[in-house]
Structure 1
């Protein structure tokens, strides 16, 4: 009986290991969801990479999107098939939260039809047909890791296919040259604020910066029902500047959250 039990245990362990694509491994920066299986793995390869910063569409045979990050470097990707008890949304959220705990900066975040056509993300952006599913069941996020790894980008893409199988794709890209300044979209700032309840800008320690002022004000004005509090060394200056950019004064309060830079908190 004991030998049968050991045999059964060995068989289960071997099957669990064999479920992953041979030679594959997790990316250290994103933890694997329990019982997820690696169904596609592409080790580091040097290439020219373009990551969209907007909804994608195809016009006259050419991909179109509002903005992009393009660079040469090494890309590594892992695609997980998720167990039935976990949704693509759950896996996407867990990966995003793990990266944000490492102070990664969100650059572009879209969900459902706001992303464009899933077929284009699957085949044109990631070159992986497994990622083709319902346009309403997709999410994409591009992040930049914090210094000293700020020349590394991470792309997340989750999808649920018509057969209800859910997938999470994780791609890590290490640029060969400095990426320079990269700014998030205003819509991404709003989505982050509504999803996490706060926005942190540790580098915005001085008087309001015109570029960031435009981005933040546009983000806040995409949903005029939201009220927020502003904290930081120059919180009142930012409040007045945002009012000057058309954000209603009644929507902005001065808060008391301590920190080195500007902190925006959603008031429930």
Structure 2
């Protein structure tokens, strides 16, 4: 290691130490989180804080160096930020810590935005130093887990949770959880990572398009551009995939009108994806009105993307 690398490492360690000392002043504060997440059993809480965040970075991909600078796919949000860092008891893995939190989120109804594990998450030091600014999270690249999620129930509208767990070289396991209660209190601000959409399509057979908007007092639909772009990138990365864009409508309307409005929403997405370069013969637009209530939740209108067999191409 040359002198410049040593100096850089020393500065990072010093910065991390100062940041940890700063966050450590919040350890004794017993914050009540707005979401019922249980602490990992017998884990030692190292840091905890609650403060306003005016420019929060919700990471939707792993960090990469571009032009000498760390870059990440992101959604910028603002609101109240809650943070907790734990050291797990001995004989517990980074994977068990991560899944302990994620399983609680899934019981609350959650939308997966981006997840990664091990080396596909990139460098652990980029998460520890550049993103979370907690030195204790600098661990082994092959033993790390990250996930970004949005709570989708109306009760927790506008709340985003990120989870990061890692094994350090000294065999200690740290778990970090952040919750951002967005001041916009509206759902579906962030688009899922395109790779996440592809994985959901190939593993579950469908993914939810969360970018459908209805303006108050207006009958027409709008599509959020960031959601359209993310889905177009997902389909562009797997040109063999053929999908149905399925519109649902559960408004208090006659069935014929439900079918018409859901078909209109599906065709609107089809047109938007074609404008992004997705071939029309890979997209089947279908409106089913209120005839498929499974998965309805609290949404009166929704769009789903369903994987079709290749021979089903429109």
State yes or no: 1:160 paired with 2:175.
no
State yes or no: 1:131 paired with 2:137.
yes
User: What secondary structure does 1:183 align onto?
Assistant: coil
Could you list the per-position Cα deviations for residues 88-122 of structure 1 after superposition, in whole angstroms to 9, with x for gaps in the alignment?
Answer: 22332342343244333333333333433211211
Could you list the per-position Cα deviations for residues 173-201 of structure 1 after superposition, in whole angstroms to 9, with x for gaps in the alignment?
Answer: 22345678332221232244456664234
Deviation at 1:161, TM superposition (A): 1.9
Write the distance in 2 (CA, Å) between the matches of 1:266 and 1:25: 43
State yes or no: 1:102 paired with 2:111.
no
Pair 1:88–1:240, CA change in 2 (3 A): same
Match of 1:117 in 2: 123
Write the distance in 2 (CA, Å) between the matches of 1:204 and 1:76: 29
State yes or no: 1:262 paired with 2:268.
no
Q: Which runs of 5+ in 2 are unaligned?
A: 1-26, 214-219, 249-261, 310-314
Match of 1:17 in 2: none
The answer to whether the 8 A contact 1:232-1:261 is kept is yes
Match of 1:3 in 2: none
Write the distance in 1 (CA, Å) between the matches of 2:205 and 2:47: 34
Out of 37, 54, 58, the position equivalent to 1:30 is 37
Pair 1:119–1:98, CA change in 2 (3 A): same
Pair 1:226–1:123, CA change in 2 (3 A): same
Pair 1:47–1:216, CA change in 2 (3 A): closer
State yes or no: 1:81 paired with 2:114.
no
Considering only aligned residues, what root-mean-square deviation do their CA atoms show, in Å? 4.2
Q: Which runs of 5+ in 1 are unaligned?
A: 1-20
Write the distance in 2 (CA, Å) between the matches of 1:165 and 1:257: 48
Deviation at 1:125, TM superposition (A): 1.6
Write the distance in 2 (CA, Å) between the matches of 1:163 and 1:220: 42
Deviation at 1:219, TM superposition (A): 1.9
Match of 1:45 in 2: 51
User: What secondary structure does 2:160 align onto?
Assistant: strand
Write the distance in 1 (CA, Å) between the matches of 2:281 and 2:172: 44
Between stretches 142-151 and 257-266, larger displacement belongs to 257-266
Deviation at 1:84, TM superposition (A): 4.8
Spell out the pairing of 1:146-157 with structure 2 (5 A cutoff). Answer: 146=152, 147-157=154-164
The answer to whether the 8 A contact 1:50-1:68 is kept is yes
Could you list the per-position Cα deviations for residues 53-99 of structure 1 after superposition, in whole angstroms to 9, with x for gaps in the alignment?
Answer: 3322456774322434243x332212233345543223323423432
The answer to whether the 8 A contact 2:191-2:211 is kept is no
The answer to whether the 8 A contact 2:46-2:87 is kept is no
The answer to whether the 8 A contact 1:109-1:141 is kept is yes
Out of 130, 136, 145, the position equivalent to 2:151 is 145
Deviation at 1:133, TM superposition (A): 0.9
How many residue pairs match? The answer is 245
Between stretches 76-85 and 151-160, larger displacement belongs to 76-85
